[in-house]
Structure 1
Amino acid sequence: MRSSPGDSADGYVIYRRLLRHAFPYWKVFLLAVFGMVIFSLSQGAFAKLIEPMVDGSFVDKDPAMIKWIPILMIIVFAIRTIGSFLSEYGMAWIARSVIQNLRSMVFNKLLCLPIGYYETTSSGGLLSKMVYDIEQLADAASTVVTTLIRDSLTIIVLLVVMMYLSATLTLILLVAIPVIAVAVVLVSKRFRKLSHRIQRSMGDVSNVTEETIEANREIKIFGGQEYETERFEKVNAYNRRQHLKLVATNAISSPLIQQIVVTAFAGIVYIATKPGFLDEMTVGKFMSFMLSMILLLQHAKRLTTINAKLQRGIAAAYSVFTFVDSEPEPDRGTRELTHVEGRVQYQSVTFSYEGMENEPVLSDIELTIEPGESVAFVGRSGAGKSTLVSLLPRFYEIKQGRILIDDVDIKDVTLTSLRSQIALVSQQVTLFNDTIAHNIAYGALEHADETAIREAAEAAYALDFIERLPEGFDTVVGENGVLLSGGQRQRLAIARAILKNAPILILDEATSALDTESERYIQGAIEHLMEDRTTLVIAHRLSTIERVDKIVVLEAGRIVEVGRHDELLAKNGQYASLHGIQFSTT
């Protein structure tokens, strides 16, 4: 999927891939096609009925014709109704099934993408793929296919009827087909180009809107309303312009193609009304031919309007399939990591972010952490503390060096087994719009019993505030725990880590969101949590790490000091300098 999305051959490949997702529903498709066939035949039958109706009923006044023609018309339209329902509902059923499957594919891809992907991609753009782009595929997978097959079949049936009535007049109409084909090809490229622009602009609209919702307090405090309004109006106006260009192209192309067809019709009418033809055709036959032409024009008009939907669908499919084809987190390990003691070793680890190979974030890291040992990582902002710790659960993949757990290279183990041995309490607490119980017993912990959940909450000093809530553990916390205070959210995150009971623990400034009273309680819970576990602490406030077994000082991606709190203060080096800055008074 590397070729240009504007290329017609590439568009064919993309659309064929989209249709492959409909293949599992071929039985429903055959039923829908059957409906299209009987719909098309009913259209031809209705046009043909005009001849005996006019000649037999009105001209010859045949009693049998007068009796049977109305009955036949009712039967024909009943068949037409059945065919229309089967085709439209059947194709819509297939389309919604395809959309459901594609949404599941996109969602599953979201779950397995590497952390770096989210750091370089806007969440608004990802949401736009899930909501807007995939929805565009519904028309391409149902309306377009239905119109293409049903109207094409109907046109063929009507042409057969017209050939039967007058081959000469029908051939005049067929002269217009090559001209129409050229016009459709030229317009298709324009449609696809504009559709890609619209999809990108929808991602921008979603992104700006999402940022405004999330940062509403900052916007109000810092007076950012005017700036955000200008930013939104810019992307909103661009989106409007691209939509109008698409509408303008459609508004010009459809009447133009119809004009070509009408010109051919006008030639047919002119020739058919000349004396030579009038002698050969009865009034009924001529009326039947004209009705066939009118019906053909209607179906040809519908065919000309599906091009815009088709190109939007191809552009949307390109966007969705490009995302689905994104590389997931590499998980080539085959060993299962079990019964971990917790010995961690960094051996000659050097790391750079993707695209920044000449600017290493970490350089030649050598570090051994013994089982049950607590180690704090300190340093100025940008020193590499978070990156160093994030390498352990393989949020990022290292290119140079090795990281071992119990003498096993973490690249050789499966991601699931590796991460099952690690618990995380982050500075940015993430809670889900679910109950407190499910937020504590999240994911692989969901089968934990109520007693274990309660004990974890009590150990994290969260039980008191949970029991004061109206529904206790069944209280829904709202989006990202919006109904709870920062300290309460942090305590739930600690309870989740306690419940997991993993041998390796990562603490990313776990008391940062707590008030003084809460911090006093939580500090005791954290010390209890750290017992008999290998703990890696990312520390910003040095007062919280004075009792850890080892402090690692980082500067510009390198380890510059290692020791206990009192040892490093005595050295009067980098750690002592950081400590002095934080605790200095004027």
Structure 2
Amino acid sequence: MSAPDTRLPVASTREVRRYAARLTRHHPRLLWTAVTLHVLAALAGLAAPRLLGDLVQSVQEGTTTAHVDEIMLALAGFLLVATVLTRYARYVSQVLGEQVLAELREDFVGNALALPVGVVESAGSGDLLTRTSRDVDQLGWSVRMALPEWTIAVITAVVTFVAAISVGWWVALPCVLGVPPLVIGLRWYLARAKDGYLRESASYSAINATLTETVEGARTVEALGTGEERIRAIDTDIDESYRAERYTLYLRTVFFPNMEISYLIPTVATLLFGGWLYTQGQVSLGDVTAATLYVQMLIDPVDRIVSILDELQIGAASLARLLGVAQVPDDREVSGAEPDGEDLAATDVRFSYVEGRDVLHGVDLVVGVGERVAMVGPSGAGKSTLGRLLAGIHPPRTGSVTVGGVGLTELPLDDLRGHVALVTQEHHVFVGTLRENLALAAPPGAVDDDIRGALAAVDALDWVDALPDGLDTVVGSGGRAVTAPQAQQIALARLVLADPHTLVLDEATSLIDPRAARHLERSLAAVLEGRTVIAIAHRLFSAHDADRVAVVEDGRISELGSHDELVAAGGSYAALWDSWHGRG
């Protein structure tokens, strides 16, 4: 029950930048409107130091109250304009951020849904869960708040520096003195921050994976008495998370004090250098005042640039993890060939979840059109794995699995599901009405009569009609709870609506009591008439009703024939049948 070591890929820095640039190109109007408003707001805000400098110079030279009032009114006017422009600049930035975040989420959901099932299983639920929750939240904060604020800070810093230089060339010298510690600190921090935050996110994935599998396997943990072992496992994950967070905290405690020094140097140097120039008669007192205020004003945007850079590093790490989902190679090679018929064939099929350890060993099986085949055998024999290959979920390591002569993994997914569909023991009820849950699998134009017909086919119509709002009853998380058997019936009703030619039922009725399952399978018989059915079951009455029975043992089909033939042969199936009836 240990957490899987396999992790989903992480995008490179170059790929993150390329994706971010592509997103911004999608919204040029909003982008340039926001930039223009921020520039105008910054320019309006920069009038204050110049006006105060002029006021100081005027006072030194002798001025009137009326002149002071004029300067104060102008100052108030510029501040009012800056406030209004900043308000609308932030509003446009927020709108841009929300649109970009919406595209990011849509892309991520599309990439996540396109992941091969085998990759999702090997990566574990913890990694994908962390990316869909914590990473999306972190990125949302970066896009909504950090990125707009950082953009404002950059624009303000550039405009403020230009304004400072306009006072006189000498202002550039004190500003340059603060560059070396700033550059050194940034290079040191950026070289370590991404890996640190990626390690931090990976530690959360490990915690989620351990917690998820412990909760899902709580009964097994209790039955085997492995509670202490599970506690030690989560303690190990938490310890790794603590070390990862402590490392990123160390980066910040070194980085930010270094930045504070780089902020103070230019201000002090401007006062000292400007004061010396003033004593030499080369600049006026108003120029020194304006220059000092401008340099002082630089501290705030530069500080925000540096501070928000930390949030952007977290956001960039989250974006890299989200984009990494799209880098998982597709396990399908669409050939464009059209199947010639609906016969299903597995030829010399071998398959492994771990390299070098096959779980299927040279399986051969041909299922005719309309035939019903039951696969039985002990747990762990490979029944479900073979069923997943016959449904086109995984490609075989060697050999082939074809429908109508075309490899299942060579068909586009939409086409494949028109030929073969898989129903497993795991069923999900989505948040929404029961009608919406069933309409997911319904063809375009399906009406309530079609949905009710599918429910009737799986003996679910009675309990659905008994619901307070019938098909309009809200189910799923936060809605009306459905039992495990009812969830299976919903899944089977979806299958009826999808109307594939071949069905692979992997313990599809395992959670329904034996009498109900027997009744359900008899009800389904009319619906499955004419379709190819491969039923993986541990209840042997399913095998009794099948045209042929395939006994799977140790990754091989050890026996294949009708129920009567295999019972008469006296082999493994006969022993299972006798045991089922209490004669063993």
Cα distance, 1:25 vs structure 2: 0.9
- What CA distance in whole angstroms lies between the structure 2 residues aligned with 1:128 and 1:35? 37
Match of 2:203 in 1: 201
Cα distance, 1:23 vs structure 2: 1.2
Match of 1:510 in 2: 508
Match of 1:534 in 2: 532
- What CA distance in whole angstroms lies between the structure 2 residues aligned with 1:163 and 1:423? 70
Letter in 2 for 1:383: A
Instruction: Check if 1:574 corresponds to 2:572.
Output: yes
- What CA distance in whole angstroms lies between the structure 2 residues aligned with 1:223 and 1:478? 32
- What CA distance in whole angstroms lies between the structure 2 residues aligned with 1:270 and 1:515? 88
Match of 1:397 in 2: 395
Letter in 1 for 2:563: H
**Which of residues 252, 261, 264 is equivalent to 2:263?**
261
Work out whether residues 177 and 265 of structure 2, in 8 Å CA contact, stay in contact via their aligned partners in 1.
no
- What CA distance in whole angstroms lies between the structure 2 residues aligned with 1:377 and 1:13? 46
- What CA distance in whole angstroms lies between the structure 1 residues aligned with 2:59 and 2:270? 26
Instruction: Check if 1:387 corresponds to 2:382.
Output: no
| Matched ranges for 1:357-436 at <5 A | 358-436=356-434
Instruction: Check if 1:349 corresponds to 2:348.
Output: yes
- What CA distance in whole angstroms lies between the structure 2 residues aligned with 1:360 and 1:480? 42
Letter in 2 for 1:311: Q
Cα distance, 1:535 vs structure 2: 1.3
Instruction: Check if 1:284 corresponds to 2:286.
Output: yes
Identity across aligned pairs (percent)?
A: 25
Cα distance, 1:110 vs structure 2: 1.8
- What CA distance in whole angstroms lies between the structure 1 residues aligned with 2:372 and 2:245? 58
Match of 1:477 in 2: 475
Match of 1:270 in 2: 272
Work out whether residues 57 and 63 of structure 1, in 8 Å CA contact, stay in contact via their aligned partners in 2.
no
Work out whether residues 254 and 301 of structure 1, in 8 Å CA contact, stay in contact via their aligned partners in 2.
no
- What CA distance in whole angstroms lies between the structure 1 residues aligned with 2:507 and 2:299? 71
State the superposition RMSD in angstroms.
3.2
Cα distance, 1:64 vs structure 2: 4.9
Cα distance, 1:12 vs structure 2: 5.3
SS in 1 for 2:46: helix
Match of 1:172 in 2: 174
Counterparts in 2 of 1:499 and 1:298: CA distance versus 1, 3 Å? closer
Work out whether residues 410 and 418 of structure 1, in 8 Å CA contact, stay in contact via their aligned partners in 2.
yes
Instruction: Check if 1:461 corresponds to 2:459.
Output: yes
Match of 2:76 in 1: 74
Work out whether residues 99 and 138 of structure 1, in 8 Å CA contact, stay in contact via their aligned partners in 2.
yes
SS in 1 for 2:45: helix
SS in 2 for 1:526: helix
- What CA distance in whole angstroms lies between the structure 2 residues aligned with 1:421 and 1:326? 26
- What CA distance in whole angstroms lies between the structure 1 residues aligned with 2:348 and 2:498? 29
Instruction: Check if 1:583 corresponds to 2:581.
Output: yes
Instruction: Check if 1:187 corresponds to 2:186.
Output: no
Match of 1:96 in 2: 98
Match of 2:160 in 1: 158
| Matched ranges for 1:12-23 at <5 A | 14-23=16-25
Counterparts in 2 of 1:409 and 1:293: CA distance versus 1, 3 Å? closer
Cα distance, 1:146 vs structure 2: 4.3
Letter in 2 for 1:570: A
Instruction: Report the more deviating stretch, 25-34 or 92-101.
Output: 92-101
Q: What whole-Å deviation, never above 9, does each CA across 1:370-428 have from its counterpart, x for those lacking one? A: 22221111222222222222222210112433333344444554331221133444333
Match of 1:302 in 2: 304
SS in 2 for 1:353: strand
Match of 2:3 in 1: none
- What CA distance in whole angstroms lies between the structure 2 residues aligned with 1:453 and 1:470? 18
Instruction: Report the more deviating stretch, 54-63 or 26-35.
Output: 54-63
The gaps in structure 2 that reach 5 residues or longer are 1-8
Cα distance, 1:577 vs structure 2: 2.5
Instruction: Check if 1:33 corresponds to 2:31.
Output: no
- What CA distance in whole angstroms lies between the structure 2 residues aligned with 1:464 and 1:546? 28
- What CA distance in whole angstroms lies between the structure 2 residues aligned with 1:554 and 1:323? 35
Cα distance, 1:227 vs structure 2: 6.1
Q: What whole-Å deviation, never above 9, does each CA across 1:342-383 have from its counterpart, x for those lacking one? A: 43222x332223542x33322333322222221111222222
Cα distance, 1:328 vs structure 2: 3.2
Work out whether residues 43 and 158 of structure 1, in 8 Å CA contact, stay in contact via their aligned partners in 2.
no
Cα distance, 1:196 vs structure 2: 1.0
| Matched ranges for 1:127-142 at <5 A | 127-138=129-140, 140-141=142-143
Letter in 2 for 1:549: D
Q: What whole-Å deviation, never above 9, does each CA across 1:291-335 have from its counterpart, x for those lacking one? A: 122112222222222331232233222212221222234151324
Match of 1:561 in 2: 559
Match of 1:500 in 2: 498
Letter in 1 for 2:371: E
SS in 2 for 1:577: helix
Cα distance, 1:272 vs structure 2: 3.9
- What CA distance in whole angstroms lies between the structure 2 residues aligned with 1:308 and 1:495? 50
- What CA distance in whole angstroms lies between the structure 1 residues aligned with 2:269 and 2:311? 31
Cα distance, 1:136 vs structure 2: 3.1
Counterparts in 2 of 1:500 and 1:306: CA distance versus 1, 3 Å? closer
Instruction: Check if 1:47 corresponds to 2:54.
Output: no
Cα distance, 1:22 vs structure 2: 1.4
Instruction: Report the more deviating stretch, 423-432 or 96-105.
Output: 423-432
Cα distance, 1:51 vs structure 2: 1.7
Cα distance, 1:477 vs structure 2: 3.0
| Matched ranges for 1:178-257 at <5 A | 178-211=180-213, 214=216, 231-232=233-234, 234-236=236-238, 238-257=240-259
Letter in 2 for 1:511: T
Counterparts in 2 of 1:486 and 1:33: CA distance versus 1, 3 Å? closer
Work out whether residues 343 and 367 of structure 2, in 8 Å CA contact, stay in contact via their aligned partners in 1.
yes
SS in 2 for 1:363: strand
Counterparts in 2 of 1:231 and 1:362: CA distance versus 1, 3 Å? closer
Match of 1:452 in 2: 450
- What CA distance in whole angstroms lies between the structure 2 residues aligned with 1:120 and 1:102? 25
- What CA distance in whole angstroms lies between the structure 1 residues aligned with 2:94 and 2:333? 38
Instruction: Report the more deviating stretch, 315-324 or 145-154.
Output: 145-154
Instruction: Report the more deviating stretch, 230-239 or 187-196.
Output: 230-239
Counterparts in 2 of 1:477 and 1:226: CA distance versus 1, 3 Å? farther
Match of 2:110 in 1: 108
Work out whether residues 350 and 363 of structure 2, in 8 Å CA contact, stay in contact via their aligned partners in 1.
no
Work out whether residues 435 and 472 of structure 2, in 8 Å CA contact, stay in contact via their aligned partners in 1.
yes
- What CA distance in whole angstroms lies between the structure 1 residues aligned with 2:160 and 2:456? 78
Counterparts in 2 of 1:223 and 1:180: CA distance versus 1, 3 Å? same
- What CA distance in whole angstroms lies between the structure 2 residues aligned with 1:434 and 1:5? 33
SS in 1 for 2:192: helix
Counterparts in 2 of 1:407 and 1:74: CA distance versus 1, 3 Å? same
- What CA distance in whole angstroms lies between the structure 2 residues aligned with 1:558 and 1:453? 39
Q: What whole-Å deviation, never above 9, does each CA across 1:440-493 have from its counterpart, x for those lacking one? A: 343344642222222222222222222222222222332499822333333333
SS in 2 for 1:196: helix
Cα distance, 1:16 vs structure 2: 4.1
Count of equivalent residues: 576
TM-score relative to the length of structure 2 = 0.88
Cα distance, 1:509 vs structure 2: 2.6
Counterparts in 2 of 1:195 and 1:404: CA distance versus 1, 3 Å? closer
- What CA distance in whole angstroms lies between the structure 2 residues aligned with 1:156 and 1:96? 26
Cα distance, 1:214 vs structure 2: 4.5
